[in-house]
Structure 1
Amino acid sequence: MDTERFAGKVALITGAASGIGAASARRLAAEGAQVIICDRNGTAAQQLADELNTARAFELDVTDLERTLEVVDGLERVDVLVSAAGVDVCDTVPNTSPEEWRTILDVDLTGVYNSCRAVLPRFVAQGGGAIVTISSAIGTVGERNRSAYCAAKAGVENLTRAMALDHGRDGVRANCVAPGLIDTPLIRNGKVGGEDDPGAMQAMVDRHHALGRIGQPSEVAAAIAFLASDDASFITGAVLPVDAGWTAQ
């Protein structure tokens, strides 16, 4: 990659050991960033750090605010946060247990809050920074049998807008990407496209994606890199669909 948009910058990525998080780590590193790879799977995080020459790895569960603060406080500099940690449960409200509900909200929404709470004082003190959160097409339009995930991702979108309004005068930009169906372990290992229904993935693609195919993590990472870069210097509070036309319908 020719561009060096992140030369001299430090990017902290949560959920960075796989899927969209890992693709984002590779993309930002290729553009010159020193990447801080954070994931609850410490072994996988270290493996990716070994692959990327400019990376450091931390085992981090984003539901643990104290540990999140500890990791951030131990860094000399942070310029970009990509909050990509996420889990999913596919079911209706009556069939989603209270434990499953809490897990989804704790990771997918509170985890974003924890990560942003850790970096925002640093961003404000240094006069700027960029936050990119990860929502979903179904954080905007909803979907059957995804009640907890829909609720969490809708919360991420409005949390991002609120942070953009609160901290714009501090030089902080906060934006969100909202992917459609992306070929990640989260999708492949879930009920959508799982072994119980091999045709479910293609059926959803046919129903929702105007482009007629599933997306790749690298395509979402490209949008994340744009929003995190100075090329998006006049963009904040935005939710950018990366969804093959899903929410255009």
Structure 2
Amino acid sequence: MSELSEPTSDLSGLKALVTGGASGIGAATAGLLADRGADVAVLDLDPSPVDKPLRAYCGDVSDDASVRSAVAAAAHELGGLDILVNNAGIGAIGTVEDNEDAEWHRVLDVNVLGMVRTTRAALPHLRASAHAAVVNTCSIAATAGLPQRALYSASKGAVLSLTLAMAADHLRDGIRVNCVNPGTADTPWIGRLLDRAPDPAAERAALDARQPMGRLVTAGEVAAAIVYLASPAAASVTGTALAVDGGMQGLRLRPQAR
């Protein structure tokens, strides 16, 4: 291909693994990767919602043996691994006063070390790929101070730094590493959060209003960004955090006149 040729976005022949791929952003990403031609495996604590042609593997990103077993099985059945999407994660609410040490350890173990474990297990397969890409699901919480999100924000701040360090470490292995920073996304976790609110409708309205576009980000919109970063179209993109947040991080709009 000449340097002036447009990079292809076709994923035919590529092998992808998506953690936390049974619901929400992960499910949207796995489905879009498959629609674009990739052969896709999903690793999840409960992979039962996953339908063919996706391959499903039960795995716990907080357990190294479980991760190594699932990644090895997926790579064997797929015939290699070109794309890793580190999406599995859990939420947390509260200030620094509101969570005990055990909860801090639990959330960091899943949200940060979970990515470490999965990437570590996948690296030998990614190094053998002619098109290797890792995309981590980060968050607007890594770059903006959000109330009642101290633990979650700390975990996603670590994911952002981890992404940059991994991009530097593995560039010469031929592996690109990027992350996506969603704003508040309309996912099952947000749905559960709203269900517990005293006034779910008012809470949703407040979350919508917090984003300049006036609505929550959709799982499909985040998936589109992840798939772009994983695709050959982003062949020169590494060490980047792509915000999909309705302008929440960078825009400062004046209040609308009443």
Q: Common fold, TM-score beyond 0.5?
A: yes
Number of equivalent positions: 239
Q: CA deviation at 1:200?
A: 1.7
Moved over 4 A (4+): none
Superposed CA offset, 1:84-137 (max 9, x none): 111111101111122221121111111111111111122124455100001110
In structure 1, what is the equivalent of residue 191 of structure 2? Answer: 188
Shift of 1:41: 1.1
Alignment of 1:196-235 (within 5 A): 196-198=198-200, 199-207=202-210, 209-235=211-237
| Unpaired segments ≥5 residues, structure 2 | 1-7, 252-258
Q: Aligned with 1:166: secondary structure?
A: helix
Identity of aligned residues (%): 41
Structure number with greater Rg is 2
> How far 1:42 moved relative to its partner?
3.2
Q: Which moved more, 1:196-205 or 1:229-238?
A: 196-205
Q: Distance in 1 between matches of 2:241 and 2:88?
A: 17
Please tell me whether the aligned partners of residues 4 and 32 of structure 1 are also in contact (alpha carbons under 8 angstroms): no
- Which whole-Å CA distance do the structure 2 matches of 1:197 and 1:158 have between them? 36
Query: Which amino acid letter does the alignment assign opposite residue 41 of structure 2?
Result: I
**Whole-angstrom CA distance in 1 between matches of 2:204 and 2:105:** 26
Partner of 1:66: 65
- Among residues 160, 165, 186, which one is paired with 2:163 in the alignment? 160
| 3-state SS in 1 of match to 2:16 | strand
Instruction: In structure 2, give the amino acid aligned to 1:66.
Output: A
With the length of structure 1 as denominator, give the TM-score of the two structures. Answer: 0.91
* 1:97-108 matches, cutoff 5 A: 97-108=100-111
1:41 maps to which of 42, 46, 66: 46
Q: Which amino acid aligns with 1:10?
A: K
C-alpha distance in 2, partners of 1:133/1:106? Answer: 15
Report SS of the residue matched to 1:163: helix
Superposed CA deviations along residues 168-216 of structure 1, whole A, max 9, x for unmatched, are: 11110000000001110111112x5644331122212212x11111111
Amino acid across the alignment from 1:223: A
Unaligned segments of structure 1, at least 5 residues: none
Structure 2 counterpart of 1:59, one-letter code = C
What RMSD, in angstroms, separates the aligned Cα atoms of the two structures? Answer: 1.5
TM-score normalised by length of structure 2: 0.88
Asked if the contact 2:111/2:156 (under 8 Å) is kept, the reply is: yes
Equivalence for 1:129:
132
Separation in 1 of the partners of 2:43 and 2:225?
20
* Alpha-carbon distance between aligned partners in 1 of 2:240 and 2:206, rounded to the nearest angstrom: 29
